[in-house]
Amino acid sequence: MPSNRPAQYQRSTNITRSRQATIARQDEALRLRRSGLSYIDIARRLGWTPNGVARPQSAAEAVRAAQRREALTNGVIASVAVTLTDFPSIPSTRTFGIECEFFGIDVQTSLEALRDAGFNAEFERYHANTVPAGFWKVTTDGSVTSRGTGTGSGLEMVSPILRGQQGFDDTIKAVKALLNAGAKVDKTCGLHVHLGMDGLTGADLIKVVEVYTANTANINKVVASSRHNTRWAKKQDLSASYLSSFKRATDSSQIKALSSNLSHNERYHAVNLKSYSAHGTVEFRQHQGTLNAEKVVSWVKFVMALTEKAVTTSDTSVEFGSFPELLDNLPLANETKQFLGRRADALATSR
């Protein structure tokens, strides 16, 4: 047994350990990884389950071994730290929308900034209706610092329904337009992301809530401490009976009925199910306010990837051992993983 393994290390007992079998298993692990499976799912499928507990690290080691062997076969010296880049830049084709809270500039300045960037933009006093197609809305928000807004309250930019690379390009352009116009954020501000849930059942939506909730400690690593179980983005606490009813909902009309029965205050959760009744979306409310376009885009991609992972997993109670391990099990491109990893490191040093 290698000396770097802990004394309590347990070997999987249900796999063949000949060299030929090991190489075949490593190659299969690499094939499965390239097909989009997470390390923990690969471990379960290929038998790295000592004492019945899947070991994603064993799967990751197998993938790296197969990569090294493949690289050497192709005449390339491979690094032990080789990682895959097979996941696309965008984790899914789901529609999305963003809500960026801000202050520091008035309504007219913010509208002009958006219009100069090429968008249709209008002001509307706060209410939670879906923005008409193609329009970016600036609205008031009483929970946000009002300095410099001229309205007696803070402001919020609400996007239209977005999708795909064009949606991300527009998001970057709009956020930068506000920032360049002088908009600011502080601890009163949040970034809210809506994801379209077309084609999903109530049980699928609860999977999203459960995976997010199980990994709250990990997700907290990449959001400011001021957004940990805050008033406006609480940890989920819906009753077991309500969750059970939601899981039995099989079509959008049933999901909307259950979602509409939630009280107004129930929307203030990190994962907000009430938004489904009005928009057909699940809203992710935990991220702190930001006008850094890369942070905004990376967070949208993160919740997209988390959603895709949740609806395809059979075990929503799995809490990954660290934030990097969580990232490693999501269908995210390496560029996004690396950015989120740096953000977690930066926040860790500032706390």
164 Cβ contact partners less than 8 Å away, ≥ 6 residues apart: 90, 93
Percent of the chain at pLDDT > 70 equals 87
Mean pLDDT of the chain: 86
Percent of the chain at pLDDT > 90 equals 61
**Which residue would you say has higher pLDDT here, 15 or 310?**
310
Positive or negative, the CA dihedral 260, 156, 200, 245 is negative
**pLDDT value, residue 80:** 30
- Where in the chain are the domains? 19-73, 178-350
Q: Strand pairing partners for 230? A: 233
Q: What is this structure's pTM?
A: 0.75
206-237: pLDDT as tens digits: 999 999 999 999 999 999 999 998 888 888 77
117-159: pLDDT as tens digits: 999 999 987 665 555 677 999 999 999 999 999 999 999 999 9
269-290: pLDDT as tens digits: 999 999 999 899 999 999 999 9
Closest of 269, 288, 302 to residue 347, by C-alpha: 288
User: Measured between alpha carbons, how far is residue 292 from residues 119, 146, 323 in Å?
Assistant: 19, 20, 21
**pLDDT value, residue 23:** 84
Cβ contact 96:193 at 8 Å: yes
- Position 38 pLDDT exceeds 60: yes
**Quick one: average pLDDT of 254-273?**
91
The secondary element (H helix, E strand) that includes residue 173 is helix 164-181
**Quick one: average pLDDT of 27-36?**
80
**pLDDT value, residue 126:** 63
From 10-14, 38-42, 57-61, 106-110, the region with the lowest mean pLDDT: 10-14
**Which residue would you say has higher pLDDT here, 192 or 24?**
192
